[in-house]
Amino acid sequence: MNPKLLHSSITRYPGLGLFVLGVISSFALPPYGLWWLLGATIPTILFILEGQATSGWGHWFTSGWALGFGYFVAAMHWIGAAFFVDAVRDLWMMPIALGGLSAFLAIFWGVALVIAMALQRRGHALWLALPGSFAGLEWLRGNLFSGFPWSVFGQVADGMGPVEQLAALLGMTGLTFMVWLWGASVFGLWREKSLRRVLAACTLLSLPLAGLWGQMRLDQNPTVYRENIVLRLVQPNISQNDKWREGNARRIFDQLLALTAAPSSIGEPVTHIIWPESSVPFLIDESDKGRGELAAALQPAQILIAGAVRRAAPSESANYYTSILVFDGQAHVLDHYDKWHLVPGGEFLPMSWLLEPLGLRKVVSLPESFTAGLGPATLNIPGAGLAGMSICYEAIFPGAVAGPNIRPNWLVNVTNDGWFGTSSGPYQHLAQLRLRSIELGVPAARAANTGISAIIDGLGRKTFTSQIGEVGAFDLKLPQEVVATIYSQLGDFALLGLLLLTIFLGEAVKKR
């Protein structure tokens, strides 16, 4: 077909076309991993936008918003599963939550496209301007208003094999930049001429080179395990319909104790046990009886790292925290970590003064909203060294899974993905934790209520993963950390360098 005729037919309904392309692009994310789709969708997006240079910023923003809305609705459809746990009470809120969140996140894409199109109007190649503007706004999305960096394009690298090792240099947002750039360079190779086409070809060539470098890094750093540390990941698989139901606490606690006290399955003593997020439906640190039973289930030298709810003080009016409690073998609390990045709509209701009168409420069925902790923290775990702590979706925030200016020996993530069933949510969640390991060069241990529990080494290799819906006590070795990565030392300054480089190249190849 004649390109001009094709362009005319597509641009007749650009918003709809971009919405559909956003939906298709979401299948590049885990668990589907169809990253190669972006080699078609991104050039088509640029093809639609090519003729909009003379339009106004309002048209540009609407185009970017439509693209983002399609992408986020499809990429985060798993959020809807949480509203089926108590469908009678909550299901009516699902379209408001998913649609409202997607519409809000799409604003960042709308702004990104305004910036890219403004640069095109100044003579920059759109395919070169777009990756930088989108990466910059995705960084802002992950930090502004407490941040929500879920479903970023950098997560696509989870299915790209050794290419994902670039996270050790550039971090997640740097990967977002590169994924956009590789897709956009296909368009540049197709539509540009002269020096711009050469630049697009060189850019595209960096994809296989990144894969070769990543494979070399993997080959040179085989998984090495730490001595005298055996972790037990406890996965009780408690249904969300049963978790907070009155009368179930005894059964749930008995199951946790039985999994904790089971003999080692690998012939070596278990040294550290990890329970998932909010594992027990009562305040275990305030229960003398509960701690007595826990002490009977633990060996004297064992350490338990347990996801739990705690109060700041034993009174009805005290603040509640979703926390990690560290117990010794006698069930004494040695330390604790309080979740500081709470889930909006789940653990607290933003603007409750406005939304509660309309009937909206948080999903977690507790009488009070949780209180946020003080911030990222690293705990010194007896026998295992410094552990960066994160609870549930805190693992999606680069640079925030350990205390500031402290490189941990390993990461601990406890979560309850039972809200999301067998949807894509748990797979995307695990992929984010893999990125944190690659970025920092440290292993991670993840205990989930119902999958996916995992051990990940410092290069993102999964040495163990459980199944969703599986019940078990998984005994596993903890990998050794690798040499500190460039990203762990420079953070997103490497991304800033990439953005400046593309601006320089855009200026250098104007009208050439």
Q: Assess whether 202 carries a catalytic annotation.
A: no
Tell me the three state secondary structure of residue 413: strand
Residues with Cβ within 8 Å of residue 268, at least 6 apart in sequence: 230, 475
Q: Which amino acid is at 481?
A: E
Report how far Cα 319 is from the mean position of its chain's Cα atoms: 27
Residues with Cβ within 8 Å of residue 454, at least 6 apart in sequence: 233, 430, 433, 444, 445, 446, 462, 464, 465, 466
Catalytic residue among 164, 347, 362, 392: 392
Rounded to whole angstroms, the Cα distance separating 76 from 423 reads 10
Rounded to whole angstroms, the Cα distance separating 441 from 463 reads 15
Alpha helices in 147-284 (DSSP H): 167-191, 194-220, 240-243, 249-261
Rounded to whole angstroms, the Cα distance separating 354 from 366 reads 19
Residue 482: HSE in the Cβ half-sphere, 13 Å Cα cutoff: 25
Asked whether 321 and 338 are in contact (CB, 8 A), the reply is: yes
Rounded to whole angstroms, the Cα distance separating 262 from 15 reads 57
Residue 283: HSE in the Cβ half-sphere, 13 Å Cα cutoff: 14
Cα–Cα distances (Å) from 210 to 50, 164, 170, 459, 461, in that order, read: 29, 9, 12, 15, 17
Cα–Cα distances (Å) from 431 to 151, 192, 444, 446, in that order, read: 10, 35, 12, 12
Structure tokens belonging to residue 343: 């889930």
Rounded to whole angstroms, the Cα distance separating 352 from 467 reads 37
Q: Is the peptide bond before 396 cis (omega within 30 degrees of 0)?
A: no
Report how far Cα 255 is from the mean position of its chain's Cα atoms: 29
Catalytic residue among 138, 164, 192, 277: 277
Q: Assess whether 439 carries a catalytic annotation.
A: no
Among left, alpha and beta (phi > 0; psi -120 to 50; other), residue 444 is beta
Residues with Cβ within 8 Å of residue 373, at least 6 apart in sequence: 321, 323, 337, 338, 339, 340
Quote the Cα angle for 244-250-255, to 5°.
95
Catalytic residue among 243, 339, 362, 477: 339
Structure tokens belonging to residue 357: 């009168």
Please list the active-site residues.
277, 339, 392
